[in-house]
Structure 1
Amino acid sequence: MKIRPFDVEQWMNKYEVTPGVLNIAETCAASISIDDLVNLCEDPNVPPPIKTSTKLTYGAIRGSDALRGRLASLYSARAASPLTKDNILITPGAIAANYMALYALVGSGDHVICVHPTYQQLYAVPETLGAEVSLWKLKKERKYIPDVDELEALVKENTKVIIINNPNNPTGATIPRSVLIALTDFARPRNIIIFSDEVYRPLFHGISPVSDDFPPSLASLSYPRTIISGSMSKAYSLAGIRIGWLASRDPEITEAIASARDYTTISVSQLDDAVASYALSDSVLHSLLKRNIQLAKTNVEMLEEWVREHGWLCSWVKPTGGTTAFILFKKKGKPVDDIAFCVDVIEKTKVMFLPGSRCFGEDFEGFVRIGFVCETSVLKTALERLTGYVDEYMS
């Protein structure tokens, strides 16, 4: 196995420890404490999530019944047939979920199609495992929504998995229901597995839940050869508990991953499982999501105003979901050197974001990824400093 450097994570590890940094590279909705979580609970009779009397054994190997049951209910909300807890596997974060799914399903001789740009893990791990990977390139002129018609030219006889990311990191684009249906229609006669990284779901802030094209989870559609990953880190503000999951309607897929999981994860922490179960309970979930969706709406409007005021310098496709935006910066009509730009900005202003060409591929020279669902005060200060920087050095 030859493992390429994970550029996003290495950039974050290098710069997020800078003293006084204003981190608008972070992709989690602004984090909360256990006290914050308890204060969001709408039922005063519900006990807090941590019981100090609990004996700290390994706990439930695949995740507690309570947590898996609550996740199954979430994915059953708009489904023709409900999921059960047996369709769910709990993992230590979505990064482990993604790896375990790919490790179990993909190997030498397989072909994988993956949307691009996206989180590097989703296409780098299949390559590491010996699979051939074709990139399904997202286009700015299509608002970064994948074109299913392009799959005819990408698919091969040995195509095993098609990988999507919805909402997308880094663009914040949302794949609408009609495209998801077309994708399952394409995969079904070919028996191709569709793997959807849904770690930013259900943080939708630019599309109405009553819209006909509001995106369902892939797990709620009728095509069984699907698998999705999710996490408490992004939309639920609880990265510190390291809880992720996989969901699939296909028991063959679930058991294959569970077998692979035995080599990497005995169980997740009982404490983490308990906090996640509490956060996803009916008395907490709605207020937690309301907080984060409103934060996203407030902040994306602030960022939109900044981009509009600096239209001479930058452009974007406004995100409709998730926590990230992908912004193209140009100077004198040419894309900036985004790596040098990001380094110079952090050195001169302490404002941190990510370079597109370094973290998402050479096609994205001049792009930077901004994580905008931080505390509003952090984003406001960061944009004020960025304004001062571009007025002095970019005009």
Structure 2
Amino acid sequence: MSPPPPFAVEQWMDKYETTAKYNIAETCCASVSIEELASLCESKTNATSILDLSAVQHYGEIRGSTPLRANLSRLYSSKGGSPLAPDNVLITPGAIAANFIVFYALIKPGDHVVCHYPTYQQLYTVPATLGAEVDLWRSKAENKWLPDFDELKAMVKENTRLIVLNNPQNPTGQVLPKSLLLNIVEFAESKNITVLSDEVYRPLFHGISPVNVDFPPSTLSLGYKNTIVTGSMSKAYSLAGIRVGWIASRNSDIIEQCAVARDYTTISVSQLDQQVAAFALSPDVIHSLLGRNIQLAKANLELLERFIIKHDEYCSWTKPVAGTTAFVKFERDGKPIDAEAFCKALQDKTGVMLLPGNHGFGAEFKGYVRIGYVNRTDIVKEGLEELRKFMRKEYDDLPLSE
């Protein structure tokens, strides 16, 4: 395994988020306290009842607590299909660990991987550090970030081991529709290629309804055994601080391979964290929690849309339909601005934090910034107001991208 290159998104966030006054680069739904989480429960409870304070804090169940895996198996078990057994779920310290474990378990030098792009850098960098050849399946702004299925088919080789998806997509907030997912899975099955879908934003749909023919189901529900999904409590569930993620697959052999790899990275996940996660995903809480976050996303996205309409001579986008992020292109005189200079100057002068797209997602995304719009509404509203003032006073002096 070769040393990984710098993780651009995480390094930018680490450098700037602790000093931001208005963090609208944040990718999590506005985080909740344990007290706030308890208040969302439909049955009477309080914050202290979430944790079993009498439980001895040993390693606990190594692959994950029974209540937590049972709640996750329920979420992935469709009424019309076969249920997902709790044993087909592994608990990890966040989705970032879940993705790493899948790659570490399945990828070896000489393998070929195709990765949906743009996306979280980990999803294509880690396979490359493990010795795989990686091709990027590009989605394009001019096609509303929908990738071309024929291009995917042309990329696949005899040694293609994995197709990696990110659905909903970070940073664009778009989805791979059901018809495309069905084509991907059918094609992968015909070639015996495993599909990994990072679905960390999946429960957060605010611009597309389940009754829509294009509404994307979880990849686990599409009938192909060799599919894997990863997720976490961080993004749609507002609980990044408890560091709980998971790997799920209907193929028990894949789960066992991941469990073997997991032994080298994770003995167990905190019992306390898992108790909070199990509570949040329980039937008495999950609907209120997701309802809160979907309404927050809708309200804040309306604020962002108003800003973009008002500045449409400088801004362009494809309006997100899911997740927490928007990918917005800023231009002047028909040329992309220097996004890094823009983000640095903006935070220095106003305290508003954005993330430059060319830094976090690839040099080709000149002029793009990622905006995280599902923080608390007052932060988003005040941050956009400060951005508006910056656009009026400072924008014309920003350098253009070379």
Q: Partner of 1:140 in structure 2?
A: 141
Q: In 1, Cα distance between the equivalents of 2:197 and 2:373? A: 23
User: Aligned with 1:364: secondary structure?
Assistant: coil
- Check 1:84–1:383 CA distance in 2 against 1; reply closer, same or farther (3 A cut): same
Determine if contact 1:201/1:235 at 8 Å carries over to the other structure.
yes
Shift of 1:210: 1.4
CA distance in 2, matches of 1:121, 1:372: 22
Query: What is the Cα deviation at residue 78 of structure 1?
Result: 5.2
Runs (5+) with no aligned partner, structure 2: 397-402
Q: In 1, are the aligned partners of 2:90 and 2:248 still within 8 Å (CA)?
A: yes
**1:80 Cα deviation after fit:** 1.6
**C-alpha distance in structure 1 between counterparts of 2:216 and 2:76, whole Å:** 12
Residue deviations 1:70-121 (CA, integer Å, cap 9, x gap): 1011011355211010110000000000000011011101000001110000
Equivalent residue, structure 2, for 1:75: 76
Instruction: Give the secondary-structure state (helix, strand or coil) at the position aligned to 1:48.
Output: helix
Pairwise mapping of residues 304-319 of structure 1 onto structure 2 (< 5 A)? 304-319=305-320
Q: CA deviation at 1:146?
A: 2.2
Structure 1 counterpart of 2:149, which letter? Answer: V
Which structure 2 residues correspond to residues 1-395 of structure 1 after superposition, within 5 A? 1-18=2-19, 21-44=21-44, 48-77=49-78, 80-395=81-396
DSSP 3-state at the match of 1:283: coil
Deviation per residue, 1:196-236 (Å, 9 max, x gap): 00001100000011112211111122001110000000000
Residue deviations 1:106-165, cap 9 Å, x none?
110100000111000000000110000000001112211222111122111100000010
Q: Is the 8 A contact 1:90 1:246 kept in 2?
A: yes
Count of equivalent residues: 394
Cα separation, 2, equivalents of 1:74 and 1:157? 35
**Residues 60, 268 of structure 2: 8 Å contact kept:** yes
One-letter code of the match for 1:119?
Y
- SS of residue in 1 equivalent to 2:131: coil
Quote the offset at 1:48 in angstroms.
2.4
Q: Distance in 1 between matches of 2:201 and 2:322?
A: 7
TM-aligned CA deviation for residue 49 of structure 1:
1.4
Q: List per-residue Cα deviations over 1:336-390 (Å, max 9, x = no partner).
A: 0111111111111110010011110011010000000000000000000000001
The 2-side partners of 1:78 and 1:150 are apart by 34
8 A contact 1:231–1:245 mirrored in 2:
yes
- Residue identity matched to 2:161: K
Q: Amino acid of the residue matched to residue 233 of structure 1?
A: S
> Could you tell me the percent identity over the aligned residues?
58
- Contact persistence 1:87–1:254 (CA under 8 A): yes
Higher deviation after alignment, 275-284 or 208-217:
208-217
RMSD: 1.1
Q: Which amino acid aligns with 1:304?
A: E
In 1: Cα distance, 2:101 partner to 2:21 partner: 33
Q: In structure 2, what residue type is equivalent to 1:33?
A: S
Opposite residue 366 of structure 2, the aligned amino acid is E
CA contact (8 A) 1:80 1:221 kept: no
CA distance in 1: counterparts of 2:49 and 2:24, whole angstroms: 31
Which sections of structure 1, spanning at least 5 residues, go unmatched?
A: none
Following TM superposition, the consecutive aligned residue runs of length 4 or more in structure 1 with deviations greater than 6 angstroms are none
Counterpart contact for 1:79–1:220, Cα < 8 Å: no
Q: Counterparts of 2:8 and 2:162 in 1: how far apart (Å)?
A: 24
Instruction: Decide whether the 8 Å contact of 2:38 with 2:45 is kept in 1.
Output: no
Aligned partner of residue 160 in structure 1, secondary structure? strand
Q: Aligned partners of 2:380 and 2:218: how far apart in 1?
A: 29
2: CA distance, partners of 1:209 / 1:190: 30
Provide the TM-score with structure 2 as the length reference.
0.96
Amino acid of the structure 2 residue aligned with 1:24: I
* Shift of residue 21, structure 1, vs aligned partner: 2.2
Q: Residue 17 of structure 1 aligns to a residue in which SS?
A: helix
Q: Which amino acid aligns with 1:107?
A: K
| Shift in Å, 1:2 | 2.1
Q: Which amino acid aligns with 1:207?
A: I
The CA distance in 2 between the partners of 1:192 and 1:160, in whole Å, is 5
The 1:33–1:317 alpha-carbon spacing in structure 2 relative to 1, beyond 3 Å, is same
Q: Contact 1:164/1:197 (CA < 8 Å) preserved in 2?
A: yes
CA distance, structure 1, for counterparts of residue 80 and residue 327 of structure 2? 32
**1:282 partner SS:** coil
* Farther off after superposition, 119-128 or 75-84: 75-84
- Which AA in structure 1 matches 2:107? V
